[in-house]
């Protein structure tokens, strides 16, 4: 009888931990469902990351509706990000064409830059389908505010004013 004591305790502690994880998962799931139609990428990302973490910790099955919602939120975030880029898109600076292809996001440390940074902003390439000009830009516009851009881009330049008047 006495020998069973510790094992029972372990099982109880384990059971309590499991219940806590299950409760956290249910909570994260309810929250994620409530914001799933939001147009705010930051809100969606927070909900998605919390739910993803809870799914991992609770060891939910790979076919669970919780994990499915993680994917749904991920797709929604991608759609919103691409819509934002499309809204900001202007005709090609070189040829005026309006047709482009857009790369996936990649990290700046996937380029061989001398000024590496541990937490890279995400970048994307934009290819003009008419003249082949490539533009590289921050994939997430808000990163202009949030990254230590001085370390990545140590030199500051300002373009000259557009020539004015009737002659160049």
Binding site for Zn ion (CB under 5 A): 92, 94-95, 97, 128, 130-131, 133
- The answer to whether the CB of 36 falls within 8 A of the CB of 73 is yes
| Closer to Zn ion by Cβ: residue 78 or 97 | 97
**DSSP letter (8 states) at residue 124:** E
The least distance separating Zn ion from the CB of residue 162, rounded to whole angstroms, comes to 20
The least distance separating Zn ion from the CB of residue 137, rounded to whole angstroms, comes to 15
| Closer to Zn ion by Cβ: residue 61 or 103 | 103
| Closer to Zn ion by Cβ: residue 94 or 116 | 94
Mapped onto helix, strand or coil, the DSSP state of residue 35 is: helix
The least distance separating Zn ion from the CB of residue 70, rounded to whole angstroms, comes to 38
Half-sphere exposure of 161 (CA within 13 A, CB side): 3
| Closer to Zn ion by Cβ: residue 69 or 92 | 92
The least distance separating Zn ion from the CB of residue 101, rounded to whole angstroms, comes to 12
- The answer to whether the CB of 139 falls within 8 A of the CB of 123 is yes
Mapped onto helix, strand or coil, the DSSP state of residue 106 is: strand
- Show the tokens assigned to 61: 């099955």
């Amino acid at each position: 009888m006495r020998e069973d004591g510790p094992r029972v305790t372990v099982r109880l502690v384990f059971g309590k931990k499991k219940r806590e994880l299950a409760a956290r998962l249910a909570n994260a799931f309810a929250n994620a469902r409530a914001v799933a139609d939001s147009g705010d990428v930051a809100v969606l990302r927070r909900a998605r990351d919390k739910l993803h973490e809870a799914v991992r910790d609770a060891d939910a099955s790979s076919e669970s509706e919780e994990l499915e919602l993680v994917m749904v939120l991920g797709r929604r975030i991608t759609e919103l990000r691409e819509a934002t880029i499309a809204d900001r898109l202007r005709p090609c600076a070189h040829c005026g064409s309006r047709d482009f292809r857009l790369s996936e996001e990649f990290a700046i440390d996937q380029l061989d830059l001398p000024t590496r940074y541990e937490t890279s902003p995400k970048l994307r390439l934009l290819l003009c389908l008419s003249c082949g000009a490539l533009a590289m830009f921050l994939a997430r516009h808000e990163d202009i505010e949030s990254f230590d851009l001085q370390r990545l881009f140590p030199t500051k330049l300002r373009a000259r004013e557009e020539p004015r008047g009737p002659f160049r």
